[in-house]
């Protein structure tokens, strides 16, 4: 069998795609790079907003046409698969294999089955399963928990991914050891709310460390860099900031979604913290990690958001001074409380506010990146950049960075870089030696090609 996988959505989905892909390989499948070469196409879906759902519909439309012309098995996994909305789409587009986020290990059974196979249960076996490490990659994801116990009124995730289940620390450390042995240098610990690790359904699990202590444990493994996402402000403790500060491998990067700067909106979102509490966490982070790089998620145009509420989001952005942000116009998702109880704002209002917020983010990212010019950063280079003669990577603070190639360095690994130019989305620098001297560059024809390098999305 030749299988092709398409992934939409978050880093958790990337991890799950890797997990299912490795299962497929263990059953003898060959992974191919395009739909044209494949006899099994599996789409890992996202249901958090309407746009990714529309994308899935459009890809499935194309696949259904192909299926009419040649033998093709169509599969759909992930959040959308778990919803009635996704199941209707699956029926319409003749999907053969449907796997919800809790049934990924049913992929083998699904392939053995000669008929349509739908797996929609949340199965415990998934939490003990350790996928093989990624091959030839310096970065890896590591899921430390699945599901979510919060009930933010706009969010479909608790429905699609079920309640929170923390993985046992032994499984996490075993998976990490395998990643280390495979050459991984940067691991990102994943969960919808990593700060609640070890406290499932409100109950502290015996034998599980707190998230802060898990960071300390992972920090002792020998891994060079540790990142984590996502943090929910309600469960953020000062001890997490302290653990970050005292564990050298933990990068000084915190992604702390705020969603809104207005207490009225935060209440309607059921976020369970106030603007003031959020800012208190930011102050604690800065107390322990003065050079912390801060990122956030913001939803604009939540039902009932007034111009004054939105201005509070803008003022909070200025008060924190984020390095980067994921910004979304509110998308009413069937099955969420806000869809049921609140009236959606007009699209033009949401688009206009999103445009203003993006302008603010660009301004802050430009200022923040410019402040790094002249500094020395530790950059994890991944390999060739879009422009010939350049390498790309990212800093401990997740800033995409591009450097000219130097003699003797192929690109993979952590290197010291002096930053000499910055845009809102990219930093440019030179590789330097232990004395701070520029390493000799590989001669190239068009040095100005640096300006053509593709903007790399922040991880
Ligand atoms: N668990 C994380 C947290 O609580 O911050 C976030 C997980 S969610 C999958 C990723 C982001 O999608 C959220 O932080 C939120 O900004 C955005 N999001 C979720 N539901 C949304 C909706 N209905 N409309 C627009 N954005 C949404
Ligand atoms: Fe969704 Fe809120 Fe859970 Fe994050 S914490 S996944 S936004 S319900």
Find the mean pLDDT for residues 243-258. Answer: 98
> What are the pLDDT digits (tens) for 297-318?
999 999 999 999 999 999 999 9
- Determine whether the annotation assigns residue 251 to a binding site: no
Find the ligand nearest to 271 CA: 2
pLDDT at 452 over 60: no
Find the ligand nearest to 12 CA: 1
pLDDT at 280 over 80: yes
State the Cα angle at 117 between 116 and 120, rounded to 5°.
140
Q: Give the chain's end-to-end CA distance (angstroms, integer).
A: 32
Token digits of residue 246: 């005292």
Percent of the chain predicted with pLDDT > 90? 89
CB neighbour list of residue 137: distance below 8 Å, 6 or more residues apart: 182, 183, 184
> What are the pLDDT digits (tens) for 369-390?
999 999 999 999 998 898 888 9
Helix (H, G, I), strand (E, B) or coil at 7: strand
> Does 236 sit in the ligand 1 pocket, CB within 6 Å?
no
Which pLDDT does position 406 carry in this prediction?
87
Give residue 410 CA to ligand 1 midpoint distance, Å: 38
Find the mean pLDDT for residues 150-170. Answer: 96
Q: How far is CA 376 from CA 173, 364, 402, 431, 437, in A?
A: 32, 20, 13, 9, 11
Give residue 94 CA to ligand 1 midpoint distance, Å: 30
Dihedral pair phi/psi, residue 156, rounded to 5°: -90, -10
Give residue 331 CA to ligand 1 midpoint distance, Å: 10
Give residue 356 CA to ligand 1 midpoint distance, Å: 20
> Does 393 sit in the ligand 2 pocket, CB within 6 Å?
no
Q: Which residue, chain included where needed, has tokens 């192909």?
A: 66
Which pLDDT does position 437 carry in this prediction?
87
Percent of the chain predicted with pLDDT > 70? 96
Nearest to 7 by CA among 61, 32, 44, 52: 44
Token digits of residue 120: 């929609």
Residues 7 and 56: their CA atoms lie apart, in Å, by: 10
Give residue 242 CA to ligand 1 midpoint distance, Å: 27
pLDDT category at 445 given cuts 50, 70, 90 is low
Find the ligand nearest to 49 CA: 1
* Ligand 1 pocket mutation pick from 10, 85, 155 by most atoms within 8 angstroms of CB: 155
Please report the DSSP string for 297-330 in residue order: EEEES-TT--HHHHHHHHHHHHHHT-SEEEEEE-
Give residue 143 CA to ligand 1 midpoint distance, Å: 18
Ligand 1 atom nearest 331 alpha carbon: 24
Find the ligand nearest to 154 CA: 1
Residues 143 and 14: their CA atoms lie apart, in Å, by: 11
Residues 57 and 64: their CA atoms lie apart, in Å, by: 10
> Does 154 sit in the ligand 1 pocket, CB within 6 Å?
yes
Ligand 1 atom nearest 192 alpha carbon: 1
Give residue 260 CA to ligand 1 midpoint distance, Å: 12
Residues 142 and 124: their CA atoms lie apart, in Å, by: 17
Find the mean pLDDT for residues 281-285. Answer: 97
pLDDT at 224 over 50: yes
Helix (H, G, I), strand (E, B) or coil at 155: coil
Token digits of residue 404: 């000219």
DSSP, res 47: -
Ligand 2 atom nearest 155 alpha carbon: 1
> What are the pLDDT digits (tens) for 251-273?
999 999 999 999 999 999 999 99
Which pLDDT does position 426 carry in this prediction?
95
> Does 328 sit in the ligand 1 pocket, CB within 6 Å?
yes
State the Cα angle at 162 between 156 and 163, rounded to 5°.
115
Scanning 162-235, the segments in alpha helix (DSSP H) are: 169-181, 211-219
Token digits of residue 265: 């909106």
Range of weakest confidence among 144-148, 203-207, 288-292, 438-442: 438-442
* Radius of gyration over every alpha carbon of the chain, rounded to an integer in angstroms: 23
Question: The pTM is what?
Answer: 0.94
> What are the pLDDT digits (tens) for 346-372?
999 999 999 999 999 999 999 999 999
Find the ligand nearest to 159 CA: 2
Q: Which residue's alpha carbon is at the smallest distance from atom 2 of ligand 2? A: 152
| Under 8 Å between Cβ of 449 and 428 | no
CB neighbour list of residue 169: distance below 8 Å, 6 or more residues apart: 207, 208, 209, 214, 217
Which pLDDT does position 170 carry in this prediction?
97
Q: Which residue's alpha carbon is at the smallest distance from atom 5 of ligand 2? A: 150
Give residue 176 CA to ligand 1 midpoint distance, Å: 27
Beta bridge partners of 139: 186
pLDDT at 441 over 90: no
CB neighbour list of residue 7: distance below 8 Å, 6 or more residues apart: 13, 14, 17, 44
> What are the pLDDT digits (tens) for 232-242?
999 999 999 99
pLDDT at 451 over 70: no
pLDDT category at 212 given cuts 50, 70, 90 is very high
Find the mean pLDDT for residues 106-121. Answer: 92
Range of weakest confidence among 16-20, 52-56, 267-271, 447-451: 447-451
Nearest to 76 by CA among 112, 34, 113, 47: 47
pLDDT at 459 over 90: no
> Does 145 sit in the ligand 1 pocket, CB within 6 Å?
no
Q: Which residue's alpha carbon is at the smallest distance from atom 5 of ligand 1? A: 257
Ligand 2 atom nearest 149 alpha carbon: 3
Ligand 1 atom nearest 148 alpha carbon: 1
> Does 199 sit in the ligand 2 pocket, CB within 6 Å?
no
> Does 48 sit in the ligand 1 pocket, CB within 6 Å?
yes
Give residue 48 CA to ligand 1 midpoint distance, Å: 7
Q: Which residue's alpha carbon is at the smallest distance from atom 1 of ligand 2? A: 155
pLDDT at 79 over 70: yes
DSSP, res 411: S
Give residue 79 CA to ligand 2 midpoint distance, Å: 13
Mean model confidence pLDDT for the chain: 94
Range of weakest confidence among 54-58, 212-216, 441-445: 441-445
């Amino acid at each position: 069998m030749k299988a092709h996988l398409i992934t939409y959505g978050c880093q958790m989905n990337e991890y799950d795609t890797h997990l299912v892909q490795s299962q497929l390989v263990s059953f003898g499948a060959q992974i191919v790079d395009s739909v044209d070469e494949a006899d099994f196409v599996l789409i890992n879906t996202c249901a958090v907003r309407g746009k990714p759902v529309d994308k899935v519909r459009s890809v499935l439309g194309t696949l259904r046409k192909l299926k009419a012309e040649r033998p093709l098995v169509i599969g759909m996994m992930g959040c959308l698969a778990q919803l009635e909305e996704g199941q209707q789409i699956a029926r319409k587009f003749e999907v053969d294999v449907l796997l919800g986020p809790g049934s990924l290990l049913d992929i083998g059974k699904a392939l053995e089955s000669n008929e349509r196979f739908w797996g929609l249960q949340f199965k415990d076996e998934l939490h003990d399963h350790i996928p093989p490490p990624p091959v030839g990659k310096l970065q890896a994801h590591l899921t430390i928990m699945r599901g979510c116990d919060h009930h933010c009124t706009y969010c479909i995730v608790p429905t699609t991914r079920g309640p929170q289940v923390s993985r046992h620390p032994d499984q996490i450390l075993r998976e990490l050891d395998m990643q280390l042995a495979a050459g991984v240098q940067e691991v990102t610990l994943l969960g919808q709310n990593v700060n609640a690790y070890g406290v499932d359904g409100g109950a502290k699990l015996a034998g599980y460390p707190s998230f802060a202590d898990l960071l300390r444990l992972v920090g002792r493994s020998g891994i060079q860099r540790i990142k984590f996402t996502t943090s929910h402000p309600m469960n953020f403790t000062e001890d997490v900031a302290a653990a970050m500060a005292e564990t050298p491998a933990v990068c000084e990067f915190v992604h702390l979604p705020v969603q809104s700067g207005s207490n009225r909106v935060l209440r309607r979102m059921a976020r369970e913290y106030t603007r003031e509490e959020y800012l208190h966490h930011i102050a604690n982070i800065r107390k322990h990690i003065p050079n912390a790089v801060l990122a956030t998620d913001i939803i604009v145009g939540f039902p009932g958001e007034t111009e004054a509420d939105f201005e509070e989001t803008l003022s909070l952005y200025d008060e924190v001074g984020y390095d980067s942000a994921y910004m979304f116009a509110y998308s009413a998702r069937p099955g969420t409380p806000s869809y049921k109880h609140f009236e959606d704002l007009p699209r033009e209002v949401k688009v206009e506010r999103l445009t203003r917020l993006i302008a603010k983010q660009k301004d802050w990212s430009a200022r923040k990146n410019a402040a790094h010019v002249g500094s020395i950063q530790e950059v994890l280079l991944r390999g060739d950049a879009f422009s010939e003669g350049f390498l790309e990577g990212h800093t401990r603070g997740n800033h995409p960075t591009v450097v000219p190639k130097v003699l003797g360095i192929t690109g993979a690994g952590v290197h010291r870089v002096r930053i000499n130019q910055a845009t809102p989305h990219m930093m440019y620098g030179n590789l330097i030696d232990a004395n701070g001297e520029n390493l000799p560059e590989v001669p190239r024809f068009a040095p100005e090609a640096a300006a053509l390098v593709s903007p790399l999305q922040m991880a």
